[in-house]
Amino acid sequence: MIVTKLLHTRMRVSDLDQTIRFYTNVLGLEVVERKTSPRGSQLAFLKVPNSDELIELTSFPPSGPVKVQEDLVHLAFQVENLDDTIASLTAKGVKITDGPTQTSSGSRFIFIDAPDGYEIELIERPHGVTIV
């Protein structure tokens, strides 16, 4: 067996509505579907611009609050212009937790925190560079 495509990544969150607001208002993702799973989890699927993969957010209050350990997992998104991104985040009151940092390839990146402590990496790549 060989897999053919990444479809989505699931992340459990404490407050689904708060997390959806973060991903839509701060990062510009789009909610493409919301539903309740057969076991009662609340689900939301988010579309990332220029990507086929989705992010699935799930909230299941009986499991208790989400506690994300530092440096355990993060999502990385490409941005067109890091300086403009920083200005937009600052205007929205979003704190930059690390960076900006420049790599040897010329990419620049910052980190911010999503609700529950999930780290978000925002990367500006020079034209032609595909990996940080």
3-state SS, 66-80, equals CCCCCCCCEEEEECC
Given this model, what pLDDT does residue 130 score? Answer: 64
- Predicted confidence at residue 131, as pLDDT, reads 63
Contact call for residues 28 and 47 (beta carbons, < 8 A): no
d(CA 78, CA 18): 23
pTM: 0.88
Give residue 58's identity as a one-letter amino acid code: T
pLDDT the model gives residue 70 = 80
What confidence score (pLDDT) does residue 69 get?
81
Respond yes or no: is residue 121 known to be catalytic.
Answer: yes
Structural domains of the chain, ranges and CATH numbers in brackets = 1-61 (3.10.180.10), 68-132 (3.10.180.10)
How big is the CA angle at 72 (ends 67 and 16), to the nearest 5 degrees?
45
Per-residue pLDDT of the chain (132 residues; tens, 9 = 90+): 898 888 999 999 999 999 999 999 999 999 999 999 998 899 999 999 999 999 999 999 888 888 888 877 899 999 999 999 999 999 999 999 998 999 988 999 999 999 998 999 999 998 766 665
Find tokens 């689904």 and name the residue. 16
The catalytically annotated residue of 70, 80, 121, 124 is 121
